[in-house]
Amino acid sequence: MSQRIKIKALLESEQTDINVIVKGWVRTFRNNQFIALNDGSTNSNLQVVVDFENTDPALLKRLTTGAAISVSGLLVTSLGKGQKVEVKAKQIEILGDSDPEKYPLQPKKHSLEFLREIAHLRFRTSTFGAIFRVRNSLAFAVHQFFQNRGFIYLHTPIITASDAEGAGETFHVTNFDLLNPPKTENGEIDFKEDFFGRPTNLTVSGQLEGELGAMALSDIYTFGPTFRAENSNTTRHLAEFWMIEPEMAFYDLNDNMDLAEELLKYVIKYALDKNAEDIQFLTQRLEDEEKQKPQQDRSEMLLIEKLQFCLDNDFERLTYTEAIDILKESTPNKKKKFQYPIEGWGTDLQSEHERYLVEKHFKKPVILTDYPKQIKAFYMRQNEVDANGRETVRAMDILFPGIGEIVGGSQREERLEKLEQRMDQMGIPKDELWWYLDTRRFGACPHAGFGLGFERLVQFVTGMGNIRDVIPFPRFPKNAEF
């Protein structure tokens, strides 16, 4: 097995006239002579030339799409178009048959909806091979970015008793018999009898625990799964997704914005460099898809151009108040084209508003800051009340073309009194978060952090329109297959 050479390495090699062993899955077998072999290391197939006159006909019949095979043969310069080298097979071994009558991935174009139904096999297509190689590179680049800057990778809990966002959209964790849970004298469920002795849920964010780490280790980041029981059956939402959440002691909002912009540019550049072939393929795929749309609905930039555009431009920074003024005076708002019209200050911005700012007004990524206090979470640092009596917090959102919000963060409220007041206003029980408040009691300092939705990032870099296509096995309402 160890003698096997990956197809990517062979296609990049300058050597020829050497004996090699390759293994992979048959994409196509034509004219009883040419196998297109792929092993997932690259989107490109390796052509294997079969001496069909001297090959057992029974073996030739088993060379069907999807079959796993091992080939030993001579790597030679290819005379055909489309590849530098090919392998002249000396010996072919079938490792696993694939019944062509039943194998659902025949060599033809399949819809993304159909491929979602066979997510266990969709990795074998060119599109999903490219997506998940890019996803792998982005994940590696995230770790490399933070590790190179001395951050500590902290594993925050998956099971927690807190709801960091205070939104209540959590998945409950219990080992109770759901048909017959223990009850108190009042007839309520007695969570003291549950596994953890209290109500618990799957985490919606590692932020609060991340802050605890930052209060001793200075700079930490988490990168793990998070869960939202939000009944949103859309192309933008998942019930299980991955979040990157750094928390930095001694940072203010400007430091936070600088780091987030630097991270995004770093990982996009890494993917462009490392996965040039995959991104070129996805660019072409998207271009073909765009041709089916009316002219006015087509993207102004190709995928590669859009990625390069984010690298070449400083992100535009403006306050929420400035953004509201721009949106209020915008043509779509005045002509009532927005689904959610901008009435005035205090409106919670929707994806359509965010995309207008990025794609139409500034034509570059945007960072919005200083949002109204009433539409943001309890832990965000409160600004002084402005001359108009407006209360804002030191929040920031980064908005990207085609995606809308990709990063959300803030400077955290380090003042105990202000934090407790805000928790009281929002009905968040202080006694349950006593450990969080302790970080404000003992050696509090200015600090900041943000959350980057990893799937939104992968969506942006691959150009995919549906978030369910950038995670291996998507979880959404009424679906937990595979």
Q: Where are the domains of the chain?
A: 7-104, 126-169+204-469
- The phi, psi pair for 142, rounded to 5°, reads -60, -50
Note the pLDDT of residue 66.
Answer: 97
Please determine whether the domains at 7-104 and 126-169+204-469 fall in the same fold group of CATH.
Answer: no
Helix (H), strand (E), coil (C) string for the chain? CCCCCCHHHHHHCCCCCEEEEEEEEEEEEECCCEEEEECCCCCCCEEEECCHHHCCHHHHHCCCCCCEEEEEEEEEECCCCCCCEEEEEEEEEEEECCCCCCCCCCCCCCCHHHHHHCCCCHHHCHHHHHHHHHHHHHHHHHHHHHHHCCCEECCCCCEECCCCCCCCCCCEECCCCCCCCCECCCCCECHHHCCCCCCEEECCCCHHHHHHHHHHHCEEEEEEEEECCCCCCCCCCCCEEEEEEEEEECCCHHHHHHHHHHHHHHHHHHHHHHCHHHHHHHHHHHHHHHCCCCHHHCCCCCHHHHHHHHHHCCCEEEEHHHHHHHHHCCHHHHCCCCCCCCCCCCCCCCHHHHHHHHHHHCCCCEEEEEEEHHHCCCCECECCCCCCCCCEEEEEEEEECCCEEEEEEEEECCCHHHHHHHHHHHCCCCCCCHHHHHHHHCCCCCEEEEEEEHHHHHHHHHCCCCHHHCCCCCCECCECCC
- The phi, psi pair for 70, rounded to 5°, reads -120, 135
Note the pLDDT of residue 166.
Answer: 59
Note the pLDDT of residue 167.
Answer: 60
Note the pLDDT of residue 79.
Answer: 84
Note the pLDDT of residue 402.
Answer: 83
Domain range 126-169+204-469, its CATH number among 3.10.20.30, 3.40.50.1100, 3.30.930.10, 3.40.50.880:
3.30.930.10
Note the pLDDT of residue 456.
Answer: 94
Note the pLDDT of residue 164.
Answer: 65
Note the pLDDT of residue 165.
Answer: 63
Note the pLDDT of residue 283.
Answer: 96
Topology of the domain covering 7-104: OB fold (Dihydrolipoamide Acetyltransferase, E2P) (2.40.50)
Q: What is the Cα 37 distance to its own chain's centre? A: 29
Task: Please give the model's pTM, rounded to 2 decimal places.
Answer: 0.94
Distance CA 482, CA 464 (A): 21
Distance CA 204, CA 421 (A): 23
Note the pLDDT of residue 404.
Answer: 87
Q: Tens digit of pLDDT per residue, the chain (482 long)?
A: 569 999 999 999 889 999 999 999 999 999 999 999 999 999 999 999 999 999 999 999 999 999 999 999 999 999 878 889 999 999 999 999 999 999 999 888 899 999 999 999 999 999 999 999 999 999 999 999 999 999 999 999 999 987 766 566 899 999 999 999 999 999 999 999 999 999 999 999 999 999 999 999 999 999 999 999 988 888 888 999 999 999 999 999 999 999 999 999 999 999 999 999 999 999 999 999 888 888 877 777 889 999 998 999 999 999 999 999 999 999 999 999 999 999 899 999 998 999 999 989 999 999 999 999 999 999 999 999 998 899 999 999 999 988 889 999 999 999 999 999 999 999 998 998 999 999 999 999 999 999 999 999 999 999 999 999 999 999 999 989 99
